[in-house]
Amino acid sequence: MAKCINGGFDNYFSDFPNLELIAEPGSFLVHSPVSLAVNVISGVKIPKSRVTQIEKDSSEEAYMYYLNQGTYGCFNCKILDHFTPIGEPLFPDSKKDGQTYPSIIWGPSCSRFDVIETGKQIRKLENGEWMFYPTMGAYTLVTASTFNGFELPENYHFIDEESL
């Protein structure tokens, strides 16, 4: 990897012979291999205006969902790295997949900073369903805490046969 990076510097920055580079490619390399599956622990129907901040939307429905992980746990990347996680239901549901609603996805704490996604269009979710967040990066678990007694998730390692 260093050979490729140095070659790029020789190509693109040859006019700057004293240029020094400090890089942490580790975060880049493990961004895509780390995914997170989290559980919907609660959901509540709300007026759409709470999501859109448009008063005329108050007669339409929207939802707030609460997950078993939040910004004090495995979604700390929202605060520490200014990363925007984008999740989807882990399992499709042909009976529900057509209709979507504006939603806010929260972590389990009561903190106003524990918001994971806002204004997300998503199908109606039930308690116990799983959400899948791909490309969560290097620090998903190592910087997570057990704030307010919320447990850290179990780790499972997967690799397809083609990659072995």
Identify whether 14 is part of a domain. no
User: 135: which 2 tokens?
Assistant: 């490309």
Output the pLDDT for position 116: 97
Q: Which residues are catalytic?
A: 110
CA distance linking residue 125 with residue 123, whole number of Å: 6
Mention every residue, 6+ apart, whose C-beta is less than 8 A from residue 75.
36, 69, 85, 107, 116
Half-sphere exposure of 95 (CA within 13 A, CB side): 2
CA distance linking residue 80 with residue 82, whole number of Å: 6
10-64: per-residue pLDDT in tens?
888 888 888 887 777 767 777 788 899 999 999 999 999 999 999 999 999 999 9
> pTM, whole model, 2 decimals?
0.81
Q: Is 89 helix (H, G, I), strand (E, B) or coil?
A: strand
In order of 48, 73, 117, 135, 155, the CA distances from 114 in angstroms are 20, 9, 10, 20, 22
CA distance linking residue 87 with residue 37, whole number of Å: 9
- CATH number for the domain including 40? 2.40.37.10
CA distance linking residue 116 with residue 39, whole number of Å: 13
Identify whether 160 is part of a domain. no
Output the pLDDT for position 1: 65
> Which pLDDT band, with edges at 50, 70 and 90, does 95 fall under?
confident
- In the chain, the number of structural domains is 1
What is the residue range of 77's domain? Answer: 33-144
Query: Which of 15-29, 46-60, 123-137, 142-156 is predicted least confidently?
Result: 15-29
Query: Which of 1-5, 68-72, 115-119 is predicted least confidently?
Result: 1-5
Q: What is the mean pLDDT of the chain?
A: 88
Identify whether 159 is part of a domain. no
Identify whether 130 is part of a domain. yes
Q: Which residue's entry shows tokens 């108050």?
A: 58
